[in-house]
């Protein structure tokens, strides 16, 4: 995990780096640090705690310090302490680096470096990289000069990187080369923003767009060296590579709060717009078909698929579960969903005609990426449903569909989830159309889907009422979320949302499973959230609501607007606009997002940065 930023330019580096860190804070926020080249020396400041704690320890920025690196951490190796915070220095004190990723062979390298007499001060895997570069740098400066006249700092970095196993996004500086910044990438994202006489290196475009919208995306095993002659991209084996400058798609305005108290709330309210953008140009009403350009060359094969396997983590996994129901219902293709972390280790069976579809907001989740690699190794065609353009999963998959939901900053995924459901619905309709659906049916589903953003607006207007419901129930530490059919995955998602940001324990279940055990949990006043919108299992779920009420549980019921029959069964009622059952998940999840959001705020918690979590989980 972690976010890294590097700056090379004409301005004082410190404010640029600190601003960049704030934009990357979602990637981890247990410690932070900065290193600048100041008067021929590397100056490091770092501390456990949030970026604000680092800011408080910094001196006033100086315009003489125009090259630097910075880091916001999510601890993997070693707890969140001042010493374990990045940047890490090598034993000469000349080289400083920040790292996002995990070095798998760090213990072997550490033992070897210790035998060579190098002392370690931290418990991190990252410190090994710094010392390894320092080791080659010292040699390069003495007996083992690079033979081709190559800069010794760059050469040392390459020598070290060639010996690392694992993943890294790195930004590195050296006090002997005060006008040089090096970045390198393997398995962790790294983007170089190219401005007018200035460069910003970062894990995510969010830290770059304030300065420039032109960027290059480094690929695995590539590095970039920035000096007074400009930037040079190479492989870590020193082979020059030419990279195209690309335009970064989103603006600064899109990632700022725009009057909302939190990113999560902003992103919940952005859902109608995000869905409209996601569906724009894809719903072809005139020809009664769906156009998913990114999949065009695979649609014929996909239509004949024998099996579709969705994979992802967290909220994206829940989207996969809905996708499985949608594909089986509309396209009649067998489908299943597997946690990416399980899929990759269970020796999955990939037969001819199996398609694996990876779902990920960030496109950087390591478990999902590993599942993609596993599926490819086993010969599957692998497609992606991803939000972040140019991300690792987007590039590793054979083809895919972008969500176009805009940047999602809040750690708890919201608008990416509903956009994932919209893409899955579009895919299922189009596959259905190509297999057996009549054109009137296709037209019906397209029309119904097009109405969803407007219906979400109606749910959002109930935010205050939902806050009152949260207020009345937040004293209870245990909650149940229950749904059936297409709304079963939404029960899981509702419980996940409440857990991750309000730290209340919640369990999501298919409502019928309650009687096989969890019903024993129900005690006086325990909140049970039922998704009981009209559909084929409506009567059954009323039965389940009664089972809870008769045992003293308190019911919060999501019901179809205008359903008066259900009122007597609900201690709290949340009306949801009517929709066919297969489209209900995109609607029913929205009140549950709001419920979790308000519960967390009312409990005084940091909604956008919940404890122990990070937005982009780049560890396995
Ligand atoms: C983290 C986030 C979740 C997200 C999951 C998968 O755990 O906190 O909100 O659902 O990662 O992320 P992805 O970027 O692959 O969708």
CA distances from residue 522 to 150, 471, 507 in whole angstroms, order as listed: 70, 20, 12
CA distances from residue 403 to 207, 214, 275, 361, 599 in whole angstroms, order as listed: 21, 22, 9, 8, 28
Q: CB count, 10 Å around CB of 335?
A: 24
Nearest-CA residue for ligand 1 atom 15 is 360
Q: Helix axis angle, 488-502 relative to 314-326, nearest 10°? A: 170
CA of 52 to the centre of ligand 1 (A): 25
CA distances from residue 410 to 164, 209, 263 in whole angstroms, order as listed: 33, 18, 5
Q: Which of 231, 229, 233, 230 is nearest to 221 (CA)?
A: 233
Q: Could you tell me if 428 and 331 are in contact, meaning their C-beta atoms sit under 8 angstroms apart? A: yes
CA of 267 to the centre of ligand 1 (A): 15
> What per-residue confidence (pLDDT) applies to 66?
96
At 434-487, the pLDDT tens digits run: 999 999 999 999 999 999 999 999 999 999 999 999 999 999 999 999 999 999
**Whether residue 366 has its Cβ less than 6 Å from ligand 1:** no
User: What does residue 324 show for φ and ψ, rounded to 5 degrees?
Assistant: -60, -45
The residue count of the chain comes to 620
Instruction: Specify burial of residue 523 (Cβ count, 10 A radius: 0-12, 13-18, 19+).
Output: exposed
**Whether residue 365 has its Cβ less than 6 Å from ligand 1:** yes
Query: What SS3 state is found at 103?
Result: strand
Query: What SS3 state is found at 472?
Result: helix
Residue 516 and residue 513: Cα distance in Å, rounded?
A: 5
Which two three-digit tokens encode residue 608? Answer: 């956008």
Helix ranges (H only) for 436-473 are 439-450, 452-460, 463-473
- Residue 313 Cα: closest atom of ligand 1: 6
Residue 211 and residue 193: Cα distance in Å, rounded?
A: 8
Q: Could you tell me if 76 and 101 are in contact, meaning their C-beta atoms sit under 8 angstroms apart? A: no
Q: Which positions ≥6 away from 275 have C-beta within 8 Å?
A: 405, 418, 419, 422, 452, 453, 456, 586
Residue 569 and residue 566: Cα distance in Å, rounded?
A: 6
| Cα 542 to the center of its chain, rounded Å | 36
Q: Which of 73, 130, 87 is nearest to 106 (CA)?
A: 130
Residue 217 and residue 293: Cα distance in Å, rounded?
A: 22
Q: CB count, 10 Å around CB of 147?
A: 7
Residue 547 and residue 512: Cα distance in Å, rounded?
A: 11
> What per-residue confidence (pLDDT) applies to 373?
95
Q: Decide if 179 is catalytic.
A: no
Q: What is the mean pLDDT of each run of 10 residues along the chain (620 residues)?
A: 92 97 83 94 95 94 95 84 96 97 91 96 96 94 77 96 94 97 93 96 92 94 97 96 89 75 94 92 92 94 97 97 98 97 86 95 93 95 91 92 89 96 98 96 97 96 96 94 96 97 94 82 89 92 89 94 93 97 98 98 90 66
As a dihedral over the C-alpha atoms of residue 259, residue 265, residue 267, residue 273, rounded to 10 degrees, the angle is -70
Helix ranges (H only) for 5-145 are 13-24, 51-57, 106-115, 126-141
**Whether residue 314 has its Cβ less than 6 Å from ligand 1:** yes
Nearest-CA residue for ligand 1 atom 7 is 314
Residue 145 and residue 470: Cα distance in Å, rounded?
A: 66
CA of 41 to the centre of ligand 1 (A): 39
Which two three-digit tokens encode residue 152? Answer: 């010794």
Which two three-digit tokens encode residue 456? Answer: 């979400």
User: What does residue 82 show for φ and ψ, rounded to 5 degrees?
Assistant: -60, -45
Instruction: Specify burial of residue 467 (Cβ count, 10 A radius: 0-12, 13-18, 19+).
Output: middle
Helix (H) or strand (E) holding 254: helix 252-255
Which residue of the set 22, 45, 499, 615 is catalytic? 615
At 245-275, the pLDDT tens digits run: 999 877 776 777 777 889 999 999 999 999 9
User: Looking up tokens 């309000």, which residue turns up?
Assistant: 502
CA distances from residue 454 to 266, 289, 319, 490 in whole angstroms, order as listed: 17, 21, 21, 20
User: Looking up tokens 């419920």, which residue turns up?
Assistant: 595
CA of 525 to the centre of ligand 1 (A): 32
**Whether residue 411 has its Cβ less than 6 Å from ligand 1:** yes
User: What does residue 492 show for φ and ψ, rounded to 5 degrees?
Assistant: -65, -45
Question: Considering the entire predicted model, what is its pTM?
Answer: 0.77
Helix (H) or strand (E) holding 170: strand 168-174
**Whether residue 313 has its Cβ less than 6 Å from ligand 1:** yes
Nearest-CA residue for ligand 1 atom 1 is 615
Instruction: Specify burial of residue 390 (Cβ count, 10 A radius: 0-12, 13-18, 19+).
Output: middle
Residue 167 and residue 285: Cα distance in Å, rounded?
A: 45
Which two three-digit tokens encode residue 577? Answer: 């606009």
> What per-residue confidence (pLDDT) applies to 256?
74
CA of 434 to the centre of ligand 1 (A): 32
Q: Decide if 615 is catalytic.
A: yes
Nearest-CA residue for ligand 1 atom 5 is 314
């Amino acid at each position: 995990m972690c976010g890294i930023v590097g700056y090379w330019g004409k301005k004082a580096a410190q404010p640029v780096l600190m601003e960049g860190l704030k934009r990357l804070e979602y990637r981890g926020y247990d410690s932070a640090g900065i290193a600048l080249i100041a008067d021929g020396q590397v100056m490091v400041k770092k501390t456990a705690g949030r970026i604000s704690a680092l800011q408080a320890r910094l001196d006033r920025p100086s315009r003489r310090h125009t090259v630097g690196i910075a880091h916001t951490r999510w601890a993997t190796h070693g707890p969140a302490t001042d010493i374990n915070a990045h940047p890490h220095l090598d034993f000469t004190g000349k080289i400083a680096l920040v790292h996002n990723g995990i070095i798998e062979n760090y213990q072997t390298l550490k033992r070897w470096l210790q035998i060579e007499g190098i002392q370690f001060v931290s418990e991190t895997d990252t410190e090994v990289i710094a010392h390894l570069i320092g080791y080659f740098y010292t040699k390069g400066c003495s007996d083992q000069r690079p033979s081709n006249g190559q800069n010794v700092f760059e050469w040392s970095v390459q020598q070290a990187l060639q010996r690392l196993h694992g993943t890294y996004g790195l930004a590195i500086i050296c006090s002997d080369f005060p006008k040089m910044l090096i970045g390198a990438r393997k398995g962790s994202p790294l983007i170089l923003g190219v401005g007018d006489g200035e460069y910003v290196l970062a894990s995510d475009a969010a830290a770059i767009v304030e300065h420039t919208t032109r960027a290059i995306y480094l690929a695995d095993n590539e590095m970039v060296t920035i000096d007074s002659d400009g930037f040079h991209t190479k492989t870590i084996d020193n082979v020059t590579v030419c990279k195209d400058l690309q335009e970064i798609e989103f603006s600064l305005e899109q990632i700022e709060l725009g009057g909302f108290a939190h990113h999560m709330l902003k992103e919940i309210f952005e859902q109608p717009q995000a869905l409209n953008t996601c569906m724009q140009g894809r719903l072809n009403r005139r020809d009664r078909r769906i156009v998913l350009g990114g999949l065009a060359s695979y649609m014929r094969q996909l239509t004949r698929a024998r099996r579709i396997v969705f994979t992802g983590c967290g909220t994206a996994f829940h989207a996969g579960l809905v996708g499985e129901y949608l594909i089986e219902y509309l396209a009649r293709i067998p489908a299943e969903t597997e946690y990416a972390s399980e899929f990759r280790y269970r020796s999955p069976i990939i037969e001819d005609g199996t398609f694996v579809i990876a779902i990920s907001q960030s496109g950087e989740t390591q478990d999902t990426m590993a599942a993609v690699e596993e599926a490819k190794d086993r010969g599957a065609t692998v497609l992606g449903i991803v939000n972040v353009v140019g991300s690792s999963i987007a590039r590793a998959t054979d083809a895919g569909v972008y969500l176009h939901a805009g940047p999602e900053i809040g750690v708890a995924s919201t608008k990416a989830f509903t956009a994932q459901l919209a893409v899955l619905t579009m895919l299922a309709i189009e596959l259905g159309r190509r297999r057996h659906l009549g054109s009137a049916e296709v037209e019906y589903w397209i029309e119904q889907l097009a109405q969803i953003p407007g219906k979400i607006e109606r749910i959002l207007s109930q935010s205050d009422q939902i806050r009152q419901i949260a207020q009345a129930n937040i004293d209870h530490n245990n909650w149940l979320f229950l749904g059936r059919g297409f709304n079963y995955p939404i029960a899981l998602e509702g419980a996940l949302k409440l857990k991750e940001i309000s730290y209340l324990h919640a369990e999501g279940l298919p409502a019928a499973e309650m009687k096989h055990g969890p019903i024993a949990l129900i005690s006086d006043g325990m909140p049970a959230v039922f998704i009981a919108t009209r559909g084929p299992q409506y009567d059954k779920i009323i039965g389940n609501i009664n089972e809870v009420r008769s045992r003293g549980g308190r019911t919060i019921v999501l019901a179809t607007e205008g359903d008066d029959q259900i009122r007597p069964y609900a201690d709290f009622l949340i009306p949801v606009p009517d929709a066919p059952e297969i489209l209900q998940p995109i609607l029913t999840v929205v009140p549950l997002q709001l419920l979790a959001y308000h519960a967390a705020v009312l409990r005084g918690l940091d909604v956008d940065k919940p404890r122990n979590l990070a937005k982009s989980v780049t560890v396995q």
